[in-house]
Structure 1
Amino acid sequence: MSNCGVTQRPSSTVSSSTPPMETPHEPKGKSKLVFPFGLPPTPEAAATRIIKNLSRLGLFYLLVLWVGLSISLVPERKFSLLLLMGMTIIVNQYLIIVRLMPNSICGNKAVDKMLVLVPVAIVTIVGLILTDAAIHLFATLGIGTPVILVHAVFWRDGGFINEEASASAPGELTPLVDNV
């Protein structure tokens, strides 16, 4: 009477007292901790890793610099902060339009994103210099750029994305411990 209308899934754990059979291709007790940071073996590998990480994580690196610059502008340079926010809104609106209308003249190959983003970055830098926020800009770039380059050198790819289709679906997150 207590189970009326209720169905239960069978348990996926083994409830018997005998240990499960081990497969010969999985050695027992051997596991390797996957760590996302590592020293590259050669300077060429470090340069390759920097280029790859700047292309993949460039938006996040730019966001770190932008947040650092915004925080440094808050106490003293409110007009410079408004200029930075205004230019950010303009760039975001442009990128949203490009994404929404890929076949328009804005998203066409004739007008590349860099032809718009580089002049906007130059105008923002000149505006920050003219509003007496140059020290904040250069301090943020001077502190943030080496930190970003160190991260780009040491960040190695492959610790979190599983490329093998046999273990799980491609692109699925993998655990931090791999069986070797």
Structure 2
Amino acid sequence: MSNSGVTQRPSSTISSSTPPMETPHEPKGKSKLAFPFGLPATPEAAAARIIENLSHLSLFYMLVLWVGLSISLMPERKFSLLLLMAMTIIANQYLIMVRPMSNSICGNKAVDKMLVLVPMATVTIVGLILTEAAIHLFATLGIGIPVILVHAVLWKDGGFLNEEASASTPGELAPLVDNV
């Protein structure tokens, strides 16, 4: 009588001898937002976080300073802005040309890049000072560097990286919302 004439269709998948255990799930409406900022526990941890973030995000930090300097030069110092743009184009062309030649003598070490980029930055700074745009340069650096250092202290590395990713997919992007 428990069967009452109802027959089940055979499954197309291989069934196991034990039924799968059900895991409790939270409702989909409840999810925890991943927050990428946090205070470090000790001053040593803050220094380590600054060094790590400066090495990983240095391009973005330089871009923030460059945009700030460009905006400050735009209304008054057009020649200084042209100098800044010219030096930026030269540096970018050098970096683009070095990238495919990574196995050559001039492109295989970061020191070689610094031997070109540091003098170019020096020429740019001296050029901006000589074109009477020093106040713009120092104001941009005075405002930008503290903001960058605060960001470098507060930014937790791995805010968007999936730490639980398997070894086959290191650095896989994780969603901004964790379903815990």
Residue 107 of structure 1 corresponds to 107
**What are the within-5 Å matches in structure 2 for residues 87-166 of structure 1?**
87-109=87-109, 112-165=112-165
Contact 1:50 1:153 (C-alpha < 8 Å) held by counterparts: yes
Residue 81 of structure 2 corresponds to 81
State the one-letter code of the partner of 1:125. I
Cα distance change of structure 1 residues 173 and 32 upon mapping to structure 2, 3 Å threshold = same
User: Alpha-carbon deviation of 1:73?
Assistant: 0.4
Contact 2:32 2:178 (C-alpha < 8 Å) held by counterparts: yes
Contact 1:105 1:111 (C-alpha < 8 Å) held by counterparts: no
- 1:31-78: CA deviations, max 9, x gaps? 543200001111111111000000000000000000000000001100
Q: Aligned partners of 1:42 and 1:99: how far apart in 2?
A: 39
State the one-letter code of the partner of 1:136. H
Residue 71 of structure 1 corresponds to 71
Larger Rg: 2
**Structure 2 gaps, min length 5:** 1-20
Contact 1:164 1:170 (C-alpha < 8 Å) held by counterparts: no
Give the share of equivalent positions with the same residue, in percent: 83
State the one-letter code of the partner of 2:43. P
State the one-letter code of the partner of 2:123. V
CA RMSD of the aligned region, Å?
A: 2.2
State the one-letter code of the partner of 2:144. G
Q: What TM-score does the superposition give when structure 1 sets the normalisation length?
A: 0.79
Residue 34 of structure 1 corresponds to 34
Cα distance change of structure 1 residues 121 and 110 upon mapping to structure 2, 3 Å threshold = closer
User: Alpha-carbon deviation of 1:149?
Assistant: 0.4
Cα distance change of structure 1 residues 156 and 141 upon mapping to structure 2, 3 Å threshold = same
Residue 178 of structure 1 corresponds to 178
SS at 2:178's partner residue?
strand
Q: Aligned partners of 2:110 and 2:35: how far apart in 1?
A: 43
Aligned residues: 157
Q: What TM-score does the superposition give when structure 2 sets the normalisation length?
A: 0.79
